[in-house]
Amino acid sequence: MADDDPHLSLSTPNTNSLGSSTSHFYPFATSPDIIRSHEKDAFCTGGLVQQAQSIVRALRGARYAHAHSNSIKHITELIYFSLTTAIGNRTLGEEYCDLVQLEDDTLRLPAITRRVGYILSTILVPWTLQRALPSFRQRVRAKLERSIAKQQFRAAQQATLLNKPTLSTADAPKSASASSARRFFTKLRLQQYILEHLDSLTSVSPIYALSIITFYFTGSYYHLAKRIWRLRYVFTKKIDANEQRVGYEVLGVLMVLQIAVQGFLHVRKISASANEDDSSLAAGDGDRSGAGGGLITSIQHPSAVPLLPASAARYDLEEEPGAVSWIPEGQQRKCTLCLEVFKDPSVTTCGHVFCWTCVRDWVREKPECPLCRQEVLLAKVLPLRG
């Protein structure tokens, strides 16, 4: 069997030194076969995950199985690849497509370090990022919100001081104010952009997209982890000279076009938003110059400063049952996310009620209702009172 040969000979038309009368022709696998092998492994692991979840559900209950579904999935995949790739065997998908992994630089079967490194990079690293990114994003988001609020407040104070009647005797302060406002809003736009697109900026999806585009063009390294550890696939059967071997280059072209169009539309949207902000800023400066000292009131409660999250719930139905008296007693007063009595109950556009902090954190990570999966925007989640 090909797996038992530690020195697979790989001869190509450009490597005459490796060819001999007894050597076999082991060509590199093509994109369709690699993808077919991956899909077969995904099908097998999917069935194993379902069986593992059924076992956990029978032993610990449905709630426990649902709460630890991701852990069950990754542990099952880790066991599957440990019993195949880690000990030097082929996976079911590789056997189904007659593929064997080789080290790209030595053209030999992968060493134990590369096999284990590939498994850890494929399963444990994404699992760790999935658990660590939400808390990291939450901390960064809180810092950005505080920074934006402080900068907006200082800008409002500076604009008020520069627009006092005692300073309106010359045009120089006005030009200095406009220049300062432009610099300030440039910095503010950057922070607001990071805050608005924080999930996308801290996601590894673009890296995976670039890796898969490269795979479509070159036909090697379908997984990003295989690219890191330099593992490629070869056929274990002889390919006839007249046998046609096709790739998926057209998919790579389509993905490049898709990314280019999306990038162009995104840049145009940001540019249009910046122009609108400049127009509103100019109109606001004109209104302030005509209103005189009318900004003093707005400084005390600036409208553009976002509300910072409260340290404790304002309305806890466990302590104040009459805050939302029309919600019946019992299980209907408990949030389906935290399984506790509502704290600051809020309703989505689809009509489901959750705690404010629960639905806020959920929608920031996945903009959909936890129950019915309808699209939910955080700006349209309304608090319930009375």
Q: Does a structural domain hold residue 183?
A: yes
With a CB cutoff of 8 Å and minimum separation 6, the contacts of 108 are 6, 7, 8, 102
Pair of tokens at residue 75: 């542990």
Based on the fold, state whether residues 198 and 62 are members of the same structural domain. Answer: no
Residue 236's nearest CA partner among 58, 25, 23, 4 is 25
What is the number of structural domains in the chain?
3
Rounded to 5°, angle at Cα 306 from 289 and 353: 140
Based on the fold, state whether residues 279 and 350 are members of the same structural domain. Answer: no
Pair of tokens at residue 59: 């032993």
pLDDT higher than threshold 90 for residue 257: yes
Based on the fold, state whether residues 142 and 55 are members of the same structural domain. Answer: no
Q: Does a structural domain hold residue 127?
A: no
Based on the fold, state whether residues 271 and 182 are members of the same structural domain. Answer: yes
Based on the fold, state whether residues 322 and 178 are members of the same structural domain. Answer: no
Q: Per residue in 36-67, pLDDT tens?
A: 999 999 999 999 999 999 999 999 888 888 88
Q: Does a structural domain hold residue 305?
A: no
Domain final residue, candidates 300, 321, 336: 300
Instruction: State the average pLDDT for the chain.
Output: 77
CA of residue 171 relative to chain centroid, distance? 49
- Phi and psi angles of residue 193, each rounded to the nearest 5 degrees, phi first: -65, -45
pLDDT value at residue 210: 92
Domain final residue, candidates 238, 261, 288: 238
Once rounded to an integer, what is the mean pLDDT over residues 250-274? 89
pLDDT higher than threshold 60 for residue 18: no
Q: Does a structural domain hold residue 244?
A: no
Based on the fold, state whether residues 150 and 282 are members of the same structural domain. Answer: yes
Confidence of residue 114 (pLDDT cuts 50, 70, 90): very high
pLDDT value at residue 50: 92
User: What residues make up the domain containing 18?
Assistant: 2-105+230-238
Based on the fold, state whether residues 197 and 276 are members of the same structural domain. Answer: yes
Based on the fold, state whether residues 294 and 314 are members of the same structural domain. Answer: no
Q: Does a structural domain hold residue 273?
A: yes
Based on the fold, state whether residues 288 and 342 are members of the same structural domain. Answer: no
Q: Per residue in 326-372, pLDDT tens?
A: 677 777 778 888 888 888 888 888 888 888 888 888 888 788 888 88
pLDDT value at residue 280: 66
Q: Does a structural domain hold residue 176?
A: yes
Please tell me which residue, 324 or 24, carries the higher pLDDT value.
324
Based on the fold, state whether residues 85 and 12 are members of the same structural domain. Answer: yes
Based on the fold, state whether residues 162 and 290 are members of the same structural domain. Answer: yes
Q: How far apart are CA 65 and CA 54, in angstroms?
A: 8
Q: Does a structural domain hold residue 221?
A: no
Q: Does a structural domain hold residue 213?
A: no
Q: pTM to 2 decimals?
A: 0.62
Based on the fold, state whether residues 175 and 91 are members of the same structural domain. Answer: no
